[in-house]
Amino acid sequence: MNENFNTSFGIKLTVPAVIREIKSFIEEKKDFHYKIIVGTDSLRISDNLADFVIAIVVHRMGNGGRYFWRRIETSKVFSLRDRIIKEVMFSLETAKKILQEIEKANLQNFDFEIHIDVGENGETKKLIQEVVGIVRANNLEPKTKPESYAASSVADRLI
């Protein structure tokens, strides 16, 4: 499986290269506070297949940001719950790789979040407690709609 991420300019980067880009972005303006966020969204393309987009966002609070993304095509899913759980698992897998590289790069001055595409309105309401629990069990900070913009806006836009 190709694990490279795309930039907004269409350049493909490995995870270590993404972290170098994030580090450079943070070092440009060290006085700001940053969030590094992973979020995944998906689109059902047939009865049991879905495409997933994983987004990595570095948000310079109050002053813009950058994003990186990759697509995982045609993964088998059988229900909305399956799809949402897969989104969370893809985000967690990516987060673990990113956090390993962040540690190697000695990157500091940021918060790390997992954005989940579930919210109080709609069918996903009944899944909130379960998926938030999965993220917290991995010692990461979950955010749901309307705060989950990396999943519900950035990744969603790239589906």
Dump the DSSP string for the chain: ----EE-TTS-EE-HHHHHHHHHHHHHHTTTS-EEEEEEEEEEE-SSSEEEEEEEEEEEETTS-EEEEEEEEEEEE--SHHHHHHHHHHHHHHHHHHHHHHHHHHT--SEEEEEE-S--SSSGGGGGHHHHHHHHHHTT-EEE-TTS-HIIIIIIHHH-
Residue by residue, what is the 3-state secondary structure of 63-88? CCEEEEEEEEEEEECCCHHHHHHHHH
pLDDT at residue 1 tops 80: no
Q: Is 7 exposed, middle or buried (0-12, 13-18, 19+ CB in 10 A)?
A: middle
pLDDT at residue 11 tops 60: yes
Residue range 21-67, pLDDT digits in tens: 999 999 999 999 999 999 999 998 888 889 999 999 999 999 999 99
Residue range 103-144, pLDDT digits in tens: 999 998 899 999 999 999 999 999 999 999 999 999 999 999
Q: Identify the band that residue 75 occupies on the pLDDT scale cut at 50, 70 and 90.
A: confident
pLDDT at residue 5 tops 90: yes
Say what the pLDDT of residue 2 is.
67
Locate 20 and state its tokens. Answer: 């170098």
Note whether 114 and 91 are within 8 A (CB): yes
Say what the pLDDT of residue 101 is.
97
Q: Which amino acid is at 128?
A: I
Please report, for the chain, the start and end positions of each structural domain, with discontinuous segments joined by +.
5-158
Torsion of CA 22, 25, 28, 34, to 10 degrees: -80
Say what the pLDDT of residue 72 is.
93
CATH for the stretch 5-158:
3.30.420
Residue of 127, 157, 154 lying closest to 142 (CA atoms) = 127
Torsion of CA 17, 22, 25, 27, to 10 degrees: -100
Note whether 32 and 120 are within 8 A (CB): no
